[in-house]
Amino acid sequence: MADNSGVTGMKPKRKPSAGEKLSAAALRDSEARLRAILETAVEGIITINERGIIESFNRASENIFGYTAAEVIGKNVSVLMATPHREQHDSYLHNYRETGHAKIIGIGRETVARKKDGTLFPMDLSVSEVKLSDRRLFTGFIRDITERKRLEKENLEISEREQRRIGQDLHDGLCQQLAGIEMLSQVLAKKLAPNAKAAAARAQDIAGAVRAAISQTRLLARGLSPVTLEAEGLMAALAELALNTEKMFHVRCEFICAETVKFPDHAAATHLFRIAQEAVSNAIKHGHAKKISIRLAAGAEQLQLSVQDNGSGFPEKKSHGQGMGLRIMQSRIGMVGGTLRIENLRGGGVTVSCTAPKNSGTAHGCKK
């Protein structure tokens, strides 16, 4: 029989069966459904391949980043990232391919991303891996959390301001009144001394008790408003933190700062101080550390602060319970536009290290 398929050497095209037609239609339906879900999702959803090249970019991503899908598809996902992830993302993917050790996949984290116009903004990022028959894809789910961060920042600033105000009121108001009472008690003691020795001694006791109350109030005031307004206030406050920790908890606590560090941004300095304070408190409370080192150093652009302890280290189990300390630390470092790392040391103990830009400002909405 003659071949009448029209193309020499090709098999005649077979008509799809009814079943095949149905499953092709079902496939088309499910693709359309998936596309609709992607396009209407409030979260930014981006898929990249193993080499970090963007393969899809939904509408919410376009709104968040200011790029159209056509502008970024085919580009490396690092264009959406801020330093240092921008420069290092290829090596993250490479490490994951080599070791299978995931740092973000299935975990999720807050990070900073970059819009088309260069604005940096905070985002919640979670990544999942999709294994296809011949390759794998990574899907990133992104939520812009600028507003949430702004509220957190406002909350912290309000409470910081309130604490400072109470600290100053205690120092300037209550301490002065107590000082007045102490003086009056001493005058009374002197008056009583010639004729009523026992009563004079009582008046001296009262003066002593008031003096103790003044010291306590001063300590309280300093705790509420720890960093003074001078450029070197952070250094002084950390040195005092080390000293007070030794006195109060009978542990060795050193403050290491090779050169004078000036950091005139009072609000940012207070955030950094509070991070160190929480790290020290955790080292004692949870790690039962016997030695703590607080280090402060400044480079040309950045400030480095770390608190290292020789305690037990983080427990194996990851859950950190109801505690607020670590979360507030994270939030504070976000406010100064810095980075925070908390890690168990090989020989035991924990290091909390952070960096902050010298001309701090906020991380949100600032151009880089």
Ligand X SMILES: Nc1ncnc2c1ncn2[C@@H]1O[C@H](COP(=O)(O)OP(=O)(O)OP(=O)(O)O)[C@@H](O)[C@H]1O
Applying CB under 6 A, the residues found at the interface with ligand X are 282-283, 285-287, 309, 311-315, 320-321, 323-326, 350
- Rounded CA separation 118/259 (Å): 34
Residue 118 contact partner, candidates ligand X, Mg ion, none, CB within 5 to 8 A by sort of partner: none
- Comparing CB distances to Mg ion, the nearer of 270 and 282 is 282
- As measured in angstroms, the least distance from the Cβ of 187 to ligand X is 45
- Rounded CA separation 343/272 (Å): 18
Residue 208 contact partner, candidates ligand X, Mg ion, none, CB within 5 to 8 A by sort of partner: none
- Comparing CB distances to ligand X, the nearer of 75 and 290 is 290
Residue-wise DSSP of 244-310 = HHHHHH-SEEEEE-SS------HHHHHHHHHHHHHHHHHHHHTT--SEEEEEEEE-SSEEEEEEEE-
- Comparing CB distances to ligand X, the nearer of 97 and 320 is 320
Residue 324, helix vs strand vs coil: coil
249's CB contacts (< 8 A; 6+ apart) are 284
- Comparing CB distances to Mg ion, the nearer of 47 and 245 is 245
- Comparing CB distances to ligand X, the nearer of 47 and 282 is 282
- Comparing CB distances to Mg ion, the nearer of 325 and 361 is 325
The DSSP code for 116 is: T
Residue 314 contact partner, candidates ligand X, Mg ion, none, CB within 5 to 8 A by sort of partner: ligand X
- As measured in angstroms, the least distance from the Cβ of 279 to Mg ion is 9
Residue 167 contact partner, candidates ligand X, Mg ion, none, CB within 5 to 8 A by sort of partner: none
The DSSP code for 15 is: P
* Cα angle for residues 140, 340, 258 (degrees, 5° grid): 150
* Cα angle for residues 45, 47, 53 (degrees, 5° grid): 135
Residue 350 contact partner, candidates ligand X, Mg ion, none, CB within 5 to 8 A by sort of partner: ligand X
Q: How far is CA 180 from the centre of its chain?
A: 45
Amino acid at 227: V
Residue 52 contact partner, candidates Mg ion, ligand X, none, CB within 5 to 8 A by sort of partner: none
* Cα angle for residues 302, 304, 306 (degrees, 5° grid): 165
- As measured in angstroms, the least distance from the Cβ of 354 to Mg ion is 16
- As measured in angstroms, the least distance from the Cβ of 271 to Mg ion is 16
- As measured in angstroms, the least distance from the Cβ of 272 to ligand X is 16
The count of C-alpha atoms lying within 13 angstroms of the C-alpha of 343, restricted to the half-sphere facing its C-beta, is: 8
- As measured in angstroms, the least distance from the Cβ of 216 to ligand X is 22
- Comparing CB distances to Mg ion, the nearer of 159 and 359 is 159
Q: Nearest-CB residue to ligand X?
A: 323
- Comparing CB distances to ligand X, the nearer of 207 and 276 is 276
- Rounded CA separation 71/57 (Å): 10
Residue 335, helix vs strand vs coil: helix
User: Which stretches of the chain bind Mg ion, using CB under 5 A?
Assistant: 282, 325
Residue 286 contact partner, candidates ligand X, Mg ion, none, CB within 5 to 8 A by sort of partner: ligand X
- As measured in angstroms, the least distance from the Cβ of 32 to ligand X is 46
Residue 187 contact partner, candidates ligand X, Mg ion, none, CB within 5 to 8 A by sort of partner: none
- The pair phi, psi for residue 140, each rounded to 5°, is -105, 130
- As measured in angstroms, the least distance from the Cβ of 275 to ligand X is 11
